[in-house]
Amino acid sequence: MQQLKEQSGLTYRQLEQRAAERGEVLARSTLADVLRRRTLPRAELLAVFLRACGCAEDEVGAWLAARQGIEERAAAGAGEPPDGGEPPDAGEAPGGAAVPDAPRRSPYRSRRVLLSGAAALVALLLAVGIPLLTGDGTAPHGAAAKAPLPTGEVRIRPLRAPGLCLTDGRVLRVRRYRTVAVQRPCAEAVPPQTHLTAAGAGRHRIQWTHRDHGKGCLVLLRESGLEGLLEPWDDCRAGGPAQLFRVEPAGGLTGAGGTAYRLRLSGEGAERCVTLGGDEPGATALARPCTGKDDQKFLIGPG
């Protein structure tokens, strides 16, 4: 749970707020204490926490099933399951999802089972957490998935214009040209090579590799005049959650290339998805509220 919280990039306060938006209760003091304690969390608290972190319902169900199995084995071995009851208040832990003010940018820039405490949480991760955290495409990301999500070098193509690919382009913003994510004909899209790399908790980085400019990972910009653009930074960790994407099957329509996906932002941007500003070559990719429309759907295949 602690690792999942860190990967989400959300603070205790933000998790509490996200739960409240769903009509659920996740007191930050309770969560802080649960993450410190060496006991199995209550099922209802675990479910609310997972949804606040942005997990899909199938992922929540998998975690809860694993937790129930742990509890049942513990009861069989010790006669009493671990109790993750309501803990006393605790202070809010530090953390946040804000992008640093001065990041580095790309020049393109078996014995009897007695499961309690840490053993229970380790077993929970072994049973279901690791497949969810590895982001290697083997974990379920929704019933619509028909094949494992490709990783490594890939092509990311808009569903509405599959002859185009997501790649780099130059746009004039705030009195200077910047390299950002745009769509161009696939025959002209390399270099850079595009790589989808697992970052844990079902999230990925979109990394570009250019023979002249090196490596850059896409990050969501928040500065005035640039908000919503996706720019490559040479430090693939400097942007924190703003550099992490959840690749989700979009459901319904699929293209000739396979399953359609949406690219959902992480952390504070979790309600926004990568959206194309049009169908023509050169259209800019922007982070916009997730709508489920086709301008937010992509085909992802080997590069």
- Residue 240 pLDDT: 81
Tell me the mean pLDDT per 10 residues along the chain, length 303: 74 83 82 81 87 76 84 68 42 38 43 34 44 39 54 91 94 86 93 91 90 89 90 86 90 62 85 92 94 93 84
Element (H, E) at 44: helix 43-52
Structure tokens at 61: 């169900």
Rounded CA gap, 192 and 98, in Å? 28
246 located within any domain:
yes
Give residue 159's domain range.
152-302
99 located within any domain:
no
Residues 160 and 282 in one domain: yes
- Residue 5 pLDDT: 77
Residues 163 and 276 in one domain: yes
In the chain, beta strands by DSSP E: 152-158, 164-173, 176-185, 193-200, 203-210, 214-220, 230-233, 245-249, 260-265, 272-276, 285-289, 298-302
One-letter amino acid for residue 269 of the chain: G
144 located within any domain:
no
Residue reference for tokens 């509220």: 289
Residues 200 and 246 in one domain: yes
Residues 35 and 176 in one domain: no
Residues 297 and 164 in one domain: yes
| Count of structural domains within the chain | 2
Residues 166 and 286 in one domain: yes
- Residue 88 pLDDT: 39
174 located within any domain:
yes
Cβ of 111: how many Cβ atoms within 10 Å?
5
Residues 130 and 202 in one domain: no
Residues 70 and 25 in one domain: yes
Residues 13 and 48 in one domain: yes
- Residue 293 pLDDT: 92
- Residue 144 pLDDT: 39
Rounded CA gap, 18 and 7, in Å? 16
Structure tokens at 281: 């070559």
Residues 114 and 156 in one domain: no
Cα-trace Rg, the chain: 21
- Residue 258 pLDDT: 65
Distances 293 to 107, 264, 273, 297 between C-alpha atoms, Å: 34, 13, 11, 7
Residues 286 and 195 in one domain: yes
101 located within any domain:
no
Q: Could you tell me the sign of the dihedral formed by the alpha carbons of 66, 72, 74, 77, in that order? A: negative
One-letter amino acid for residue 152 of the chain: G
Q: Which of 90, 115, 95 is nearest to 36 (CA)?
A: 90
201 located within any domain:
yes
The total number of residues written for the chain in this structure:
303
Q: For residue 234, what is the domain's CATH number?
A: 2.80.10.50
| Mode of pairing for the β-strands spanning 203-210 and 214-220 | antiparallel
Residues 197 and 79 in one domain: no
Calculate the CA 84 to chain-centre distance: 27
